[in-house]
């Protein structure tokens, strides 16, 4: 029996394109299915939380799920992602939950970035970073710095983008040093 590469080599140019198109279509379909499953799982988790007798919208688990749903919808349903991020922002502010507020602002910034509204995206990223810099979780500010720097790049402000990326490198090095010291103790 001929090997797979030999069979593929025997196909004509047009056949190769058809096989590649079929493969890419199947691959995209699997990715979409996996994404839909993740979104459905998050929606089910939110519905479950809401069905509990002691449920509070201001519960941090609820807010975190809303933010997670927003990020999972980003490339599939941007307007719905914005709706969930805004809901998470409002609830985070009411609950005085800065981590949720910072992540919600990051997601709202992503929305504006994806819609080509760089100035508004930059404002949201800066607002998110101001809050995130006071959090114990040092990875959240890193995500924000990266998105902010990328937005500066999209906006053509390469000096600010470079400064942001360098800031991110300093932050990650400081984070890794802290983590390394924790392991030693």
- Tens digit of pLDDT for each residue in 68-116? 999 999 988 899 999 999 999 999 999 999 999 999 999 999 999 999 9
pTM: 0.78
Nearest CA to 89 out of 104, 99, 74 is that of: 104
Give the 3-state secondary structure of residue 103.
Answer: helix
- Tens digit of pLDDT for each residue in 38-77? 888 888 888 888 889 998 999 999 999 999 999 999 988 8
Q: Which stretch of 15-19, 58-62, 126-130 has the lowest confidence by average pLDDT?
A: 15-19
């Amino acid at each position: 029996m001929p090997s797979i590469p030999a069979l593929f080599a025997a196909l004509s140019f047009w056949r190769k394109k058809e096989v590649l198109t079929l493969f890419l279509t199947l691959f995209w379909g699997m990715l979409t299915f996996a994404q839909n499953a993740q979104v459905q799982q998050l929606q089910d988790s939110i519905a479950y939380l809401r069905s509990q007798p002691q449920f509070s919208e201001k519960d941090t688990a609820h807010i975190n799920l809303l933010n997670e749903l927003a990020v999972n919808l980003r490339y599939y349903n941007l307007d719905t992602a914005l709706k969930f991020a805004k809901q998470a922002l409002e609830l985070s502010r009411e609950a005085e939950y800065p981590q949720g507020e910072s992540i919600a602002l990051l997601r709202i910034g992503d929305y504006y970035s994806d819609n080509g509204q760089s100035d508004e995206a930059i404002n949201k990223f800066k607002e998110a970073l101001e809050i995130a810099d006071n959090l114990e979780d040092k990875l959240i500010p890193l995500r924000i710095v990266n998105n902010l720097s990328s937005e500066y790049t999209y906006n053509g402000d390469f000096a600010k983008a470079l400064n942001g990326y360098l800031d991110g490198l300093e932050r990650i090095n400081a984070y890794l040093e802290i983590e390394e010291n924790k392991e030693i103790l």
